[in-house]
Structure 1
């Protein structure tokens, strides 16, 4: 067995374990990451709409002491990538209707990831979409960035939460095929 084959085998084995006995823990860790990100966006929105801060000064909780975090396209892209990887890696643990909702979330996150990749490429190249002064996503041509990211996060989180709720319900027949213990069985 080659080294590459061995690594792929171990990764597949690890993903199997994560989607089996460790799925509940994996989902909880992933949910904490998602909620922490939501908290940052909600704090930024509160800074703008409740506290009246100008948009460039509204940087969320971590962005106030570390302003470079907000302006770093690498940080935003990295988070979008972590989200995408999380949706892909945790996907095999879902079955039935919860899998459908998880897949909806995955497709939305694919688009969100593409938008962040586009922003990162613009930041690295210095060539901005539509001749804008700053990196700009496609949908950002129609909506301001702060509001757009609140919308994207809601669009990703809502079907994700529906999937997780359906996946953990003990009364759903389609959970019987799940390899994990997220829906505790008697």
Structure 2
């Protein structure tokens, strides 16, 4: 039996930036904000509740500790974020596109850091001989704080982009090809 490959056609990708843009942004936004909330929960567990670092795993990491320890899961999420920001970018215009691009640029770096972590986990060779997998900026900033910071830096401009996209100026509305702001281009 032949296996069937699932791939998005240009028409399907176009639909994500036109008639399904609002729905796609809603799903993507929910995923991103939920992930950010996990980092915030972990920070609260450490700095407010005083939990030791190995026990502070966010909401999902408490019942599923492997989630926090899996470099594959962290890399997969970074890749999903990067792909989502790239795929949904064409639906933005004007000021919202600028903010979306800021989020995308930050996520490119965040993704590269996770790729570096994953490659270390796979190879067993750690950056500068460190005892654990280590990203470049993690040489200066501890991992929990760094990833809370990265996710904040990606999420805030993305949310600003979405708000501006839903409230476009007249010129931006005229360029829109989606129905996000109640206008079908």
Query: Which of the five TM-score ranges fits, normalised by the shorter chain?
Result: over 0.9
Alignment of 1:126-141 (within 5 A): 126-141=124-139
TM-score norm. by structure 1 comes to: 0.92
Report the counterpart of residue 33 of structure 2 in structure 1: 35
Report the counterpart of residue 147 of structure 2 in structure 1: 149
Specify which of 79, 98, 118 is matched with residue 116 of structure 2: 118
Contact 1:91–1:102 under 8 Å retained in 2: yes
* Counterpart-to-counterpart distance in 2, 1:68 and 1:8: 29
Residue 175 of structure 1, CA deviation: 2.6
DSSP 3-state at the match of 1:182? coil
Residue 185 of structure 1, CA deviation: 3.6
* Counterpart-to-counterpart distance in 1, 2:45 and 2:180: 37
Which runs of 4 or more aligned residues in structure 1 lie more than 4 Å from their structure 2 counterparts after TM superposition? 7-10
Contact 1:170–1:184 under 8 Å retained in 2: no
Report the counterpart of residue 94 of structure 1 in structure 2: 92
Give ranges in structure 1 of 5+ residues lacking alignment: 1-6
DSSP 3-state at the match of 1:70? helix
* Counterpart-to-counterpart distance in 1, 2:136 and 2:82: 19
Specify which of 63, 74, 82 is matched with residue 72 of structure 2: 74
* Counterpart-to-counterpart distance in 2, 1:152 and 1:180: 29
TM-score norm. by structure 2 comes to: 0.92
Report the counterpart of residue 84 of structure 1 in structure 2: 82
Give ranges in structure 2 of 5+ residues lacking alignment: none
* Counterpart-to-counterpart distance in 1, 2:12 and 2:106: 26
Q: Is the alpha carbon distance of 1:110 and 1:10 closer, same or farther for their aligned partners in structure 2, counting shifts above 3 Å?
A: closer
Report the counterpart of residue 51 of structure 1 in structure 2: 49
